[in-house]
Structure formats: C-alpha cells, structure tokens
Amino acid sequence: MKMSINVRNMAGSPRAAQRAGAGVLSLVAFALLVACGGGSGTDQPTVKPASAKPTALYFTDDFSAEHDAVWITVSKVTVVSPSGQSDVATFEPARLINLPTLKRAGALFATAQIPADATALRVYVGTAAKLQKLDGSLLEVTLEAAGGFLEFKLEGWKADSGVLALDFDLPRFQLLGLVLKPALRLAGDTDFAQWNDRHAEVEGTVTAVSATSLSLQSSRLGTRTFTLDAQTSYVSKRGADWRPAVGDRVEVYGKVSGQGGQDLQFLARTVKDDSNVAGTAAWVEVKGKVSAVNGSVATLDIDRSQAGGPVGSVSVDLAGARFDRGTLTLVQPGVRLELHLAAAGAGWTAQVVEIDGAPKNAAGSAGSSASLTEVKARVVSVAGSLVEVTPFKVEGPAGGWVSGPLRADVAGAYFERSALTCLLPGQPVELKGSFNAAGVLVVTKVEGEGACSAAAPVAGVKPSDGTTPPAAGAVFVEAKGSVTAVRTGEFDLTLFKVEGVAIAPASVTVRYGSNTVFKGLDAKALTVGVFVEVKGLYAAGVLEASKIERD
C-alpha cells in the first residue's frame, strides 16, 4: 500500500477535527492499535483451511504531490476466500487515520491466518473523509467505497511468503469535485526493500518482565516478547519511576524485524502504562513538529494523534511537563516532539514530553541542558560502532560548520529508519546528539535515508547501496518539483519546495546513475510533467540524486 505525503499542518481547530472523526489514530497508534487490539471480540477467521499460514499484515504508503494529508476512518479489515469472509481486525469506535503517516514504512497491524486461496482483503471505511491540499486548504470530501469497503485483490500475492502489505496508492488518488476516488495495490518485493522502517504499537497484558525483556499477551499478535534496552522509555501517571509488572495493562511501541508472520522480533522504544489511576485525567499521545515558542507555550503541527487527541496546529503549555528526553530549553522551532497530553479547558497541557533525538533522562533527573545538534552527512567508513562521515549540514551549536570528516561512536545510539548494518560507505545519514566538553559528538539517534536491508520483511530482497562520492562543497537537500526537460542520465526540475539551502533556486538539474534509488517509478518514467521528490547532494545548480520518488 502506498501513499505518501508530508504532513505539516491541518487546518481547522483541534476540537473540530475531533468531532469530524470517531477517533484519531496515529501512524503508530493505528499501526498497532490494530496490532494490539483496537477492537474486542474474536477476530480470527471462522474458517482456517489446512493451507492457511500465519501472515504479517502491514499498511504502507509513499510520497504524493497532490495532498499534504488525507484522513479516512477504518472500522475493520476482513479476508475473503471461497470459504467465506472473516474478520482480521476490528475497530470500535472507527479509527481516523492520516494515510501519509505511513510514508515509506511498514506498519504492522496484525498477524493472521490467511488462507492460501484467499482472493482479497477488504478494509471497511467511512465515506466521510478530509484532505489538506498543498496550499493548506482543508476539504470535507466523500470517499468512494462501494459496499462500504476498499478491496485489495490478492492476485500475484505469494501465499508462502508470510508477509502481506496493503498499499494505499495515494499518488493515484483522484479528487473529482468533492468525491475522492482511491487507488489500491499490494506492495511487492521492490517496495519492501525501500521501506525505511517497520514498527508496531501493541496493547496487551504483561505476562513476564525482566531487566531486558517484556512479554505481552495481545489480541492481535498473541504472546510476543519485546527486548528492553537503555533507550526504552517508560510513561505512567503513577510517576517517573514506574516500571511494568506482571498483570499490568500496557501499550508498547516498538521496532519490528524478522521475516513472515511467526519469526518476528520486537525492540521496545516506549512502554506506556494503560492502567486506570484514580483521580487522573485521560492522556492522549501525539507527535508533531514545533513551529513557534512563546515562553513555555509551544505551537505544534501535530500529524500523529491517538483517539480523542488533537490534530493540526495546536498550542500546548509545557511548563509543568516531565521531560523524559531533553529539557524545556531545547524546545525550539523545527524540533520534533512526542507528548502525552491532558485536556485543559478548551486546550491541552503536556504531562510527559520527549524531544526527538535528545538523550534519555535518568528517572527523577532534570535532563541535560546541552544543545541538541543534528548533522546531515554521508558515510565515509565504518569500523565496528565507529562511524566516519562527511557532514553537509550541521544544525545546533556548530551550525554552519560543513568541513570534515567527523568521527562518532554510535554504540549507545538508537536507530530509526536504519541499523548499524545499513551504514555503508556513500549512504546519506542523520546523526542527532550533542557535543561534550571535549568537542566530541555524543550520538543519541541515527536516522538513515534510502533503502536498508534491515527493514526488508521478505528474505532475499536486496536494497541499493548508493556509493556515489560527495561533491566538493555539496549540501544534502530534499527537493520537490515538476520535470521540465529530460536528457540521458539527467533532467531539469522546476522546484515547488526545497529544504537544505539558504536561498532556494527556481530550478535545478538532477543527475542520476546506477546508485540512485528509484521509488514509485524508474528512469524510463521520467517524462515532462512528472512530479517527483529528490534527495541528494546539491552544488552549483546540480543535484546528484541518491533517491528519486514519484508522486
């Protein structure tokens, strides 16, 4: 399933957005609400032929040039076979999902027995939908769904692969007046190899716990064990020192690796206490980017929200919040936050805050006040956990410094959209952390760009390795625009938006080669009028593409 759009800002008030849908589900929340039991009752197929095999079911999406956000409501997913139709997952109430949050990711929402002779999966949806256009306007539209569902045909699906990914092919969605006509497809091996990450959010009851692992009984995934490490965060209304115990009801967000429906491994990133605590208000989890700060009040563009939470541009008071990563002094425009909010009158107050990329704070500590630094670079070499990179852009205390090389130890960092095995020479990478007194960058988070074999859910799928050496003085940019001329190995791009340069050019020449990763198209599909997103190194009017994606 494919679809993508970079979500920035939802127009309209948070309360209006709440009333518009039966519930708001974050990328994480949806991905795993399903995976963790968003509904009740039995959701296993009523008929299980002997040929049925446990299958990991994912939702995914990719870049779109037409819309910044597309919200639909999902009530259940069923499988259709000659034996009949049966539920795979149910949602009560229906969940409101922003499809672009699935961009280039595999969101695991269930493992289910899928009959080898299954012909289709049906995603039951509401007809009322919302979409935000690139100009910021928000439209109330009708989603075209005959019979109340979107049907994914299983033609060509490898029943013995143990994986099935439904791609909402957003680039091919059509808006006809106020009617939104969807496009659907199954993701294939090529798509799997391009995924930046796989993740899941699972709700269930703790059956066993130790210093390094937590076993969870869930209705969607059965009994699963999550690895706990130094980067796992714990959130509870009972206090900062809370840790899960047998019998607790929790929600775990984690990274997924492994193959098929049975041989999956999970690494916990956040463990949230879902037990009822007397006298405390209900919390909702949201994620978004800070657009403005006034004292302790931050304005966020929220793109991921749990049921009942706000979406769009929302002001949140952070004064009394507990910071599990970073401190209030690090909150500034451009920083991405994960928050647990409680309703306060007509607004929201933060209870727990994590700054993306900041070091994890010890229980009861005030957190580090060191400035957060983000380095965009290209890998030069890797020796164990020691990584040498050539930086193109540095944001933070060393902002503007682009010389290199820079050496850093990533042994204590947590990885997103990447893994240590993905850090190959030539690959673009983002390092987040802070410089210590000795001038050494202490890395707390590593983000990859492009394909990564660690994210491929099907054995034998190999990603591109992108080993083009960096150009002198080049900077890493992300550009979106329309193709205006095409030549062998290059094309001209009239820019709609570009990030990474102080003064944006009106157009650039994009060059590509054997190391360029293509997503949603190939070189033959580069024709005049095609809208694409390009990532790579820019210098003197030329953008050397490491990745090209089609709308």
DSSP string, 428-460: EEEEEEEE-TTS-EEEEEEEE-S--GGG--STT
Instruction: Specify the pLDDT at position 195.
Output: 78
Q: Mean pLDDT lowest for which of 39-43, 192-196, 369-373, 519-523?
A: 39-43
460 has a pLDDT exceeding 70: no
Helices within 341-415 (DSSP H only): none
Q: What would the pLDDT profile of 78-108 be if each residue is shown by its tens digit?
A: 999 998 898 888 777 677 777 877 877 888 8
Structure confidence at residue 59 (pLDDT): 87
Contact 411, 385 (CB under 8 A): yes
Alpha-carbon dihedral of residues 370, 371, 374, 377, nearest 10 degrees? -70
Burial label for 265, CB within 10 Å (0-12, 13-18, 19+), is middle
Are 373-455 and 475-550 equal in CATH topology? Answer: yes
| 141-145, 393-397, 487-491, 498-502: range with highest mean pLDDT | 141-145
pLDDT tens, residue by residue, 377-431: 888 889 988 999 888 777 765 544 445 678 888 887 878 767 787 787 877 788 8
Distances, alpha carbon 542 to alpha carbons 449, 535, 539, in Å: 20, 12, 6
Secondary structure percentages of the chain, helix, strand, coil, to 5:
10, 50, 40
Cα angle 502, 194, 448 (rounded to 5 degrees) comes to 45
Q: 93: cis peptide before it, omega within 30°? A: yes
Residue 294 tokens read as 């006034």
**Percentage of the chain with pLDDT > 70?**
78
Q: How far apart are CA 350 and CA 356, in angstroms?
A: 16
Q: Which residue has the higher pLDDT, 144 or 26?
A: 144
Residues sharing a CB contact under 8 Å with residue 9, sequence separation 6 or more, in sequence order: 68, 132, 136, 291, 301, 312, 313
CATH number of the structural domain 283-355: 2.40.50.320
Q: Which two tokens stand for residue 362?
A: 């010890």
Report d(CA 276, CA 285) in Å as an integer: 16
3-state SS class at 189: helix
pLDDT at 180: 92
Q: Which residue has the higher pLDDT, 232 or 6?
A: 232
Give residue for tokens 């890998």: 379
Domain 475-550 homologous superfamily, CATH: Copper binding periplasmic protein CusF (2.40.50.320)
Predicted pLDDT at 533:
87
Sign (positive or negative) of CA dihedral 69, 70, 72, 77: negative
Q: Per-residue pLDDT tens for 31-57?
A: 333 333 333 333 443 444 436 778 888
Q: What amino acid occupies position 90?
A: T
pTM comes to: 0.64
Q: Which CATH number does 373-455 carry?
A: 2.40.50.140
Give SS3 for 325: strand
Task: Give the model's pLDDT for residue 468.
Answer: 42
**Cβ partners under 8 Å of residue 137, min gap 6:** 11
Q: What is the token pair recorded at 104?
A: 């280039």
- What Cα–Cα distance (Å) separates residue 47 from each residue in 87, 89, 299? 11, 15, 50
| 115: nearest Cα among 51, 163, 56, 43 | 51
Domain ranges of the chain: 14-194, 283-355, 373-455, 475-550
